[in-house]
Chains A and B, each alone.
Chain A
Amino acid sequence: MKVSVDADKCVAAGQCVLLAPEVFDQREEDGVVVLLGETPGPALHDAVRESAMVCPAAAIHLAES
């Protein structure tokens, strides 16, 4: 799984950080998403998929092999 984020679309909801704090963080100044790792381990895949789905800006993209 390869994760990418669209910082321009991000609305700083932080839902991804609640679901997968190992993979996502937020910039302190404006809350915009920070991707901590593009290729999270299998144990995190479900949480990352859930993050992509609940992201209110549809700003998380997944490429699954």
Chain B
Amino acid sequence: MNRVVIVGASAGGLATAETLRRAGHTDAITLIGDEPQLPYDRPPLSKQLLCGRWTPDRLDLRSATDIDALGLELRLGARATELDTARQVVTLADGGDVSYDALVVATGARARRLPGTEGVGGVHTLRTLPDALALKERLRPGRHLVIVGGGFVGAEVAATARALGVQVTLLESGPVPLALAIGEEAGRFMTRLHHEHGVTIHAGAAVTEILRTGGELTGVRLADGTVVLADDVLVAIGSAPNTEWLAGSGLTVHNGLVCDEYCTAAPGVYGVGDVARWHNPLFGTAMRVEHRTNAAEQGMAVARTLLDPEARKPFAPVPYFWSDQYDTKLQAYGHLGDHDEALVLDADPASRKLLVAYRKADRLVGVLAAGKSPKLLRAWRALIAARSPWTTALTTTAA
């Protein structure tokens, strides 16, 4: 197979490299990452790192010694700017070329920004370690943080900021925070938690202007004219896959790098992690999953395909994610975002217990829970993996 080049040195890229080495690939592996740090873990950025409980070194995915032992050609702080699939060459920002026999695209996603706010003082996004450290510096008791976007990043930062004594206003463009991801009822369950912890929530809110006085950020203006005062603004309106460098490569890009069920984008080119939109045969649909576990699983799957193409298997995982907010841990299995029905089986805000099952057509496609036993969750996961019909699943789990 010769030289494998992996572009993207976060969880997905690292898992690919590590699996290749472990399974006996002795030829060259180049791991290219645009950030200067060794691969680090992102989920704690909005939680343990932001609240100050962990220092940045706890985020390292592997020790420097472990990384050394992999014998990689490590190109950190190097951004890929262009791909030529005919010549099989990746071009880097410094003008250098890296040629490959097989290419793994694991460039992840970046935080979306509000138009015109790039580089504006006091306006933050949260995706990288420097982002988190910059925001952390600003979160002091009594300060006011406005969070634009009621998704998981926004909701987790709201919880962390409240624990630090920060005044928090959460602006959600839809009717209910988190509803896009987990449905309205589950979203309301979490909204209630945020209210209890003193977060001010504006639903149906659209920011029209960042207000500044003498160069200092003072607040935001909403479409209905409301002014919300702020010392800082976190823009948490989702992420965009890093695919710009693939323009002109001939690869198909459509909200992510389009891949088949083997995560193949073109002969010898594979997609891994947040950047990849691949066909998941378990759900019979294309999906792009921006969750930590999927990045590692997909990297391992692609590495196995690279090592033994004849024995390749479709990548058909049951996606998993979790979210920690206050004393509540949400956990989910499956493909929730595209559901026809979210059936609340248990919702007790007082005891922080929640169980929601998700239906698409006549199938169980997802489950979301808080405060439930691991055994119960694993039983639900097994039903999703088995493509259980909705009625069968509800009967089985009720028994």
Please give the residue numbers on chain A whose beta carbons come within 8 Å of chain B beta carbons, in ascending order.
9, 11-15, 17-18, 26-28, 30-31, 49-50, 53-54, 56-58
Contacts and interface: CB of A to CB of B under 8 A. Distances in A.
B300 A54 contact: yes
A53 B375 contact: no
Given A53-B18, A54-B296, A12 B374 contact: yes
B43 A28 contact: no
Interface string B291-305: 111001100100000
Nearest to B320: A13
B213 interface: no
Interface in B282-325: 291-293, 296-297, 300, 320, 322, 324
Contacts of A28: 373-375
B374 A11 contact: no
A18 B378 CA distance: 8
A30 B377 CA distance: 12
Given A28-B373, A28-B375, A58-B41, A13 B15 contact: no
Contacts, number: 56
A51 B41 CA distance: 16
B374 A17 contact: yes
Most chain B C-beta atoms within 10 Å of own C-beta, residue among A11, A17, A26? A11
Interface in B320-336: 320, 322, 324, 329, 331
Contacts of B296: 53-54, 56
B121 to A, nearest CB: 34
Nearest to B381: A18
B320 A53 contact: no
B292 A56 contact: yes
What is the interface residue range for chain B against chain A?
A: 20 to 34
Interface of B: 15, 18-19, 22, 41, 43, 58, 61, 291-293, 296-297, 300, 320, 322, 324, 329, 331, 373-375, 377-378, 381
B322 A58 contact: no
Nearest to B377: A14
A49 B378 contact: no
A11 B322 contact: yes
A31 B374 contact: yes
A13 B322 contact: yes
A50 B300 contact: yes
Nearest to B329: A12
Given A11-B322, A13-B320, A56 B378 contact: no
Contacts of B18: 53
B293 A54 contact: yes
A14 B374 contact: yes
B381 to A, nearest CB: 8
A13 B293 contact: yes
